[in-house]
Structure 1
Amino acid sequence: MALRVACIGGGPGGLFFSTLFKQTVPDADVVLFERNQATDAFGFGVVFSDATLNRINDADPVVRNGLRDFGTHWDDIEVWLKGEQKSFAGNGMAAIYRKTLLKLMQDRAAEVGVDMRFGQYVPDLSQLDDFDVIVGADGANSSTREQLGDSLGHTAETATAKFIWFGTTYKFNGLTFVHRQSEFGNFAVHGYPISDELSTFIVETDEDTWRKAGLDEFDASQPPGPSDLKTQRFLEKLFAEDIAGEPLVANNSRWANFRTRRTRSWHKGNVVLLGDAVHTAHFSVGSGTKMAMEDAIALVREIAAHQDDLELAFTNYEAERQPQVAKIQNQARGGLSWWEHFARYYDAFDPTQFTFHFFSRSIDIDKIRQRDAGLVESVEADWLARHGHTPLETPLSAGSARFSGRLLSLTHQDGQPELTGPGGSLVLVTDPADADAGTGLLLTAPDTEEGLAAAFRQLPAQAAAIVIQGGNPFTRTLLSEEARLGRGLRSVVVDDRGPISALTQILSGRADAVATATTPEATDA
């Protein structure tokens, strides 16, 4: 008897799954249910990096052909701020208008025989009792996931930054990050072309700036449809110079906070989930659609191979995809954090260092150099012009100590911690109450982000330097930046990942110096 498969959700993930399954198991009955009409499409662009498209293209050519015929492609990423434009080459990417992509994928699904039923909402999974497999591909606010209950172990972590999604008739050359400081605070744009007539225009800001600008008046709890027109007018004026006076285009455009979703189990009974329904990663890494489509590839293969043992199929699917998704989410956390603090970086850095800080948030200087040697040369030349020395050989004063370089060591003599290095040493204390201008404070970073608030409270008003050990690279960096950029203190990060990591941290302004640990209690996490 032919397998009956229901897919709830007609976005790229659901359409790709349905198409692939019908191709793989031609005698299966595949029905897709989408609550919206076929011509409805919220949002603007969908982005794919060249490096991540191979698996999707091998499964089905619909995305490759769509990007070729209707998409836009670029190699450089640009950062605009303070009257300057900086670029980072070697980042091949392509984008397509979401509405165009959905139409192409709908046509492809129809071509292979998927039964698509638009305008049909499935509020109760019992309506689908006559299906052998139910796939929930209904997005971040998945009704399917909610109906399966708490046993899935689903969590959602809400970011502090606010974002809103518009389009604009201005044509960016490629992925462009535009920063503007208003009288209320800082705003930043993720812009990129999606067709010959339109670009995506996502804006982020912090909640305090958002409220000061009076942009908190729109009722975001109302059903999808109306857009925040006050914000649209405000942003058109703020970024008028950057988009040559072109208008913004609204499409269900309203402020929100990004939610990172994680789910322990992706299935229950004969129901299995994919894409945003079980995992999300901040849009700054441009991986949401890619992850959903790669989920679909793995899920199709496993169900097709184990039609008589769905539990095995779903378990195999999770075993393959969960580690891959977790890796992307971990990478995205650094990007999300950067956007939560970008106003601080705007104030602290000149355009060259700001650009390097941005691009080095998830890759080190060597990987940046491989893509764009010219960018690294300009960053190193900028440092040399400001300091008169290369980064690792730049002198550092900390209280009475004067080190002739920035690669230091954390040592312990008879239980007394000390910061040593070329030309000097600094005695460290471990109690913030004992810190003063002549001593350094040794702090241990928390293992998780939740512990950072308590760590921030330990930062003293004065100290020769704050030396940060323990935790992990992410928590150490945030504690270091709070000390250095938020409190005006010298910061030294204890990190045993080698000179390339040290160079990246110092050149980017994440730390004043990096120390290696010579005792077990201060080793890298």
Structure 2
Amino acid sequence: MKVACVGGGPAGLYLSILLKLQDPSHDITVHERDPEGSTYGWGVTYWRGLLDRLHTHDPVSARAVDAASLRWSEGVAHVRGDTVRQHGDQGFGIGRHRLLDILAARAASLGVRLEYGHEVSADDPPGWADLVVAGDGVRSALRTRHAGHFGTRLSTGRNPYIWLGTTKVFDAFTFAFKETAHGWIWCYGYGYAPDRSTCVVECDPATFQGLGLDRAGEAEGLALLEDLFADVLDGHRLLARPSAHGGAQQWLTFRTLTNRTWHRGNLVLVGDAAHTTHYSIGAGTTLALEDAITLAHALREHPALPDALAHYEQRRKTALLSAQSAARYSAQWYEDLPRYMDLPPDRMFALLGQRHSPLLPHLPPRLYYHLDRTAGRLTALRRLKRGLGPVLARTVHARTLASRERSQNRMAD
């Protein structure tokens, strides 16, 4: 099969790896419009479940990704001068540039052609390919040309945010919430390299305007944010880099993208070209790689291309339902942030961990917290009873046998 992957992001590169591993005779080219070695963004996050799946499908690239990642197993929240630390699942951070380098090197070693600085026109897609994979991001030109067919829908969030870097290396997934005269502003930070962390800053529109961030130049805006989060940054600087389209990095509002269908003829969507989920759940890279895994499996199991693409779409759209729901409620939690900030910091942090719940927006936060704690105690009690059940049964059985034996001995006497 001849395959053209348009876009050299995680989905396109990993799909090319998996297809070559399935059949080395596949003729695969990855077209990336940007020059080799250039990428935009800082670090990306993923969790243990993804790493396990990567080891299953390609141990070589998985070991390289694992070795290049930073790890944490705690979350930290800084609120009004208080610090709350909680243990959680193991998370990983890796530089986007490093991840793409690993995947590109692995793809090239398997015989995939990588063409950098090569933008594929939507009016002239690769006619030689049996399969064209649109992995060219949320602004996908290939998808946009047929937006009516795909049923593309975009909804824009309310809060402005900016994606920054810092030389402060966080030892845990870190949240910091700062109250200003104009409202709350907060950041998420996580390490991804020995000398770098990602730092995403977000606030509501009123705070954004009240602080003057809507009018500040890049240097002035960074200085203001460094001052606001000085205690969290420990004197380290915030870093900006040029955006993907030139110029200074800009404040954005998140765009949630969905499509009614993900394929048209021999064209199929993957990654952000097919779907986006709010950055606050840290799932974008994971979902893109899982798209690649599912598409490769469908192409192996279904020889007819229409059947393979239909199977891929159905499997991924079903699998995405929980992540998309979590992303919606997570974004809403931050948009409704003030309703949680009167809680004690430990309780606010507990509800931050519950922000994916569809019930939380409809209950008073204090009531939800107590209900959740009660449910947690009941669950723990049920688990304890299940664990102790066999032990208690064996103890009772042993005591019953011993009692019978004593009775028999008395009767014999």
CA distance in structure 1 between the partners assigned to 2:68 and 2:207 by the alignment: 37
5 Å-filtered alignment, 1:353-392, equals 353-362=347-356
Change (3 A) 1:31 1:125: farther
Aligned to 1:297: 293
- After TM superposition, give the deviation of residue 155 of structure 1 in Å: 1.2
8 Å CA contact retained: 1:6, 1:30: yes
Q: How does 1:46-445 map to 2 (within 5 A)?
A: 46-61=44-59, 64-217=62-215, 228-251=218-241, 252=243, 253-307=249-303, 309-346=304-341, 348-362=342-356
Provide closer, same or farther for how the CA distance between residues 120 and 65 of structure 1 changes in structure 2, counting only shifts above 3 A: same
Name the SS for the 1:109 alignment partner: helix
Look up the equivalent residue of 1:478 and give its one-letter code: P
**Residue 5 (structure 1) shift:** 0.5
Corresponding residue SS for 2:162? strand
Q: How many residues align?
A: 369
1:274 maps to amino acid = V
Q: C-alpha displacement at 1:249, in angstroms?
A: 1.2
Equivalent residues of 2:55, 2:63 under 8 A apart: no
Q: What letter corresponds to residue 25 of structure 1 in structure 2? A: D
Decide which structure has greater helix share. 2
Which residue number corresponds to residue 41 of structure 1?
39
Q: Which residue of 1 aligns with 2:389?
A: none
1:432 counterpart residue number: none
Secondary structure in structure 1 of the residue aligned to 2:298: helix
- Aligned-partner SS, 1:194: strand
State the alpha-carbon separation in 2 of the partners of residues 303 and 248 from structure 1. Answer: 44
TM-fit CA distance, 1:64: 3.0
Gaps of 5+ in 2: 244-248, 377-413
CA displacement at 1:27 relative to structure 2: 0.8
Contact 2:77/2:349 (CA < 8 Å) preserved in 1?
Answer: yes
Provide, for residues 289-337 of structure 1, a one-character-per-residue CA deviation record: whole Å limited to 9, x for no partner: 1111111011112223334x21100011112111111211111211111
Contact (CA 8 Å) 1:176, 1:190: kept in 2 or not?
yes
**What displacement does 1:503 show?**
4.0
SS for the counterpart of 1:229 is helix
Q: State the match for 2:23 in structure 1.
A: 25
Q: Secondary structure at the match of 1:126?
A: coil
Aligned partners of 1:277 and 1:311: how far apart in 2? 19
What TM-score results when the alignment is normalised by the length of structure 2?
0.84
Equivalent residue for 2:400? none
For structure 1, list consecutive stretches of 5 or more residues without a partner in the other structure: 219-226, 364-472, 486-491, 494-498, 506-525
Task: Give the AA of the match of 2:136.
Answer: D
Q: How much has 1:502 moved relative to structure 2?
A: 8.4
1:478 and 2:361 correspond = yes
Secondary structure of 1:209's aligned partner: helix
* CA distance in 2 between partners of 1:504 and 1:165 (Å): 37
Q: 1:429 maps to which residue? A: none
**Secondary structure at 1:165's aligned position in 2?**
strand
- Residue identity matched to 1:301: H
Moved more, 172-181 or 53-62: 53-62
Shift of 1:500: 5.7
How far does residue 160 in structure 1 lie from its aligned partner after superposition?
A: 0.7
Query: Once the 2 structures are TM-superposed, how far is the Cα of residue 256 of structure 1 from its aligned partner?
Result: 0.7
The CA distance in 2 between the partners of 1:63 and 1:335, in whole Å, is 31
Looking at structure 1, the residues matched to 84 and 301 of structure 2 have their Cα atoms a distance apart, in angstroms, of: 49
Letter in 2 for 1:356: A
Conservation of the 8 A alpha-carbon contact between 2:2 and 2:130: yes
Residue in 2 that maps onto 1:462: none
Over residues 108-133 of structure 1, what are the superposed CA-to-partner deviations in whole Å (9 max), with x where a residue is unaligned?
11101110101111122534111111
Query: What is the alpha-carbon distance in structure 2 between the residues aligned to residue 133 and residue 187 of structure 1?
Result: 45
1:391-443, CA deviations, whole angstroms, 9 ceiling, x for partnerless residues?
xxxxxxxxxxxxxxxxxxxxxxxxxxxxxxxxxxxxxxxxxxxxxxxxxxxxx
Distance in structure 1 (CA, Å) of the matches to 2:139 and 2:218 = 21
**How many Å apart are 1:191 and its aligned residue?**
0.2
| Aligned-residue offset at 1:44 | 0.6
Residue 246 of structure 2: aligned partner: none
Does the 8 Å CA contact 2:6/2:136 hold for their aligned counterparts? yes
Asked if 1 retains the 8 angstrom alpha-carbon contact of 2:61 and 2:106, the reply is no
Map of 1:416 onto structure 2: none
Counting aligned pairs with the same residue, the percent is 32
C-alpha distance in 1, partners of 2:308/2:65? 32
Equivalent position amino acid for 1:320 in 2: R
Matching residue's letter, 1:238 = L
Distance 1:503 1:126 in 2: 60
Which one-letter code corresponds to 1:312 in the other structure? D
Local SS of the residue matching 2:193: coil
Seen in structure 2, the aligned counterparts of structure 1 residues 62 and 145 have a Cα distance that, compared at 3 Å, is farther
Q: Which amino acid aligns with 1:256?
A: L
Q: Give the letter for the 1:281 counterpart.
A: T
What is the TM-score of this pair, normalised by structure 1?
Answer: 0.67
Distance 1:63 1:74, change over 3 A: farther
Distance 2:205 2:164 in 1: 19
Of 315-324 and 244-253, deviating more is 244-253
Amino acid corresponding to residue 361 of structure 2 in structure 1: L
Contact 2:51-2:66 at 8 Å conserved across structures: no
User: Displacement of 1:181 after TM fit?
Assistant: 1.6
